[in-house]
Amino acid sequence: MTRPYDSRKRILVTGGAGFLGSHLVDRLLERKHEVLCVDNLFTGTKRNIDHLHNHPRFEFLRHDVTFPLYIEVDQIFNLACPASPVHYQHDPVQTTKTSVHGAINMLGLAKRLQCPILQASTSEVYGNPSVHPQTEDYWGNVNPIGPRSCYDEGKRCAETLFFDYHRQHNLDIKVVRIFNTYGPRMHHADGRVVSNFIVQALTGQDITIFGDGSQTRSFCYVEDLVEGFLRMMDSGPDMTGPVNLGNPGEFTMLELAEIVLRQTKSKSKIVYQPLPQDDPLQRRPDISIAKEKLNWEPTVELEEGLRRTIDYFLHLVKEVGLV
Ligand code: NAD
Ligand code: UDP
């Protein structure tokens, strides 16, 4: 006999009150799953999940993933970790603990439950790359003792743990390396370039370009990224990753500033400030594996994604008054 909710799963999203996590939670609920969002609200906010307050298939648990968690779920998406340089450098020891102890705790949970677990890794595992665009077989160029290391090395160690649990305990792991992603619900003050430029343009402040603005990044719209998460989780157990998820369109920070200024019709001036230490000079994903194995590629161009993101921040500025 078929039970009515056979395809309904109970899914844990750590970091579910954050930018990416809250969009993922929305998509999982749309797919009729039950979602448990675990977050310590360090960089995430209840505002991102407010609309789910009375949702019958949504639960929120305030918890720090550096401590063990005893629950029952069918799948785990491990996103908990501050992601912007300003946030992850605020308490670097806690950042490494979140990546490493958080991974150990979530992997331990997945092992007990024998359930698949996806890790939100990052393009930062490539550091300041000498291979361009970055392919998954590139081992990276990371400074182990610099101000970004707590994040980069924490995420690298988490990947190591995921692959050791896979080899040692046959765990069904899914590691995605996320390249710069942007969109509505980014934290307005987390210092990331897209939110910084948009907020500066909308509020008439100077646009702060670090360095000469020739460094590049590839920006993926959040909706595309979340689709990549879902396809990765739905893939067979052989598809462990690591797999790059990002938009291969590559832009200099000066180009980004010019698009934001044009779209917002802002009169803000561009000012140049020193490039932070160990800031990668170029970054662009090779997404051949995601295309071939997940049939995934981004669909939202930067111009369109920025329009949607600017609309979101306009709403924050005008109606919520947060900026
Ligand atoms: P975010 O800061 O908006 O979300 C992270 C969430 O994790 C927040 O809600 C925060 O409160 C929570 N958190 C932090 N430490 C925690 C802890 N110890 N216990 C429980 N919750 C904790 O950032 P985001 O952009 O949504 O990033 C989500 C994940 O994706 C992170 O793991 C990040 O490293 C990864 N990632 C993001 C990007 C990007 O461009 N957005 C790029 C690469 C990787
Ligand atoms: N950046 C900038 N002005 C800002 C914030 C960031 O020029 O106000 C630059 C930063 O130096 C980096 C790029 O934009 O070269 C992307 O920075 P972000 O913090 O968004 O992401 P990450 O460095 O982690 O890729």
Name the band, by pLDDT with cuts 50, 70 and 90, for residue 317.
Answer: confident
Which ligand number lies closest to the CA of residue 13?
1
pLDDT tens-place string over residues 163-188 = 999 999 999 999 999 999 999 999 99
**Helix/strand/coil for 243:** strand
| 321 vs 219, residue with greater confidence | 219
Name the band, by pLDDT with cuts 50, 70 and 90, for residue 196.
Answer: very high
Indicate if the pLDDT at residue 319 is higher than 90. Answer: no
Distances in Å between the Cα of 200 and the Cα atoms of 42, 168, 257, 260, 271 are: 24, 49, 10, 10, 11
Q: Does residue 128's CB lie within 6 angstroms of at least one atom of ligand 2?
A: no
Cα-to-centroid distance, 253 and ligand 2 (Å): 8
pLDDT at position 5 is 53
Q: Which helix (H) or strand (E) holds 305?
A: helix 302-315
pTM of the model: 0.96
Indicate if the pLDDT at residue 4 is higher than 60. Answer: no
Annotated catalytic residue: which of 88, 126, 151, 221?
A: 151
Q: Quick one: average pLDDT of 116-140?
A: 96
Which ligand number lies closest to the CA of residue 251?
2
**At a CB cut-off of 8 Å and minimum separation 6, what does 19 contact?**
44, 48, 83, 181, 183, 185, 186, 187, 222
Q: Does residue 17's CB lie within 6 angstroms of at least one atom of ligand 1?
A: yes
Pocket test for ligand 1, best of 46, 81, 156 (most atoms within 8 A of CB): 81
Indicate if the pLDDT at residue 322 is higher than 80. Answer: no
Superfamily of domain 10-182+221-246+282-299: NAD(P)-binding Rossmann-like Domain (3.40.50.720)
Percent of the chain with pLDDT over 70: 98
Q: Enumerate the domain spans of the chain.
A: 10-182+221-246+282-299
CA angle 141, 144, 149 (to 5 degrees): 95
Our answer to whether residue 151 is catalytic in this structure is yes
User: Quick one: DSSP state of residue 110?
Assistant: H
Average pLDDT, the chain: 95
Cα-to-centroid distance, 187 and ligand 2 (Å): 14
Cα-to-centroid distance, 281 and ligand 2 (Å): 10
Q: Does residue 154's CB lie within 6 angstroms of at least one atom of ligand 1?
A: no
Q: Which atom of ligand 2 is nearest to the CA of 200?
A: 8
Residue 66: both structure tokens together: 């550096």
| 320 vs 183, residue with greater confidence | 183
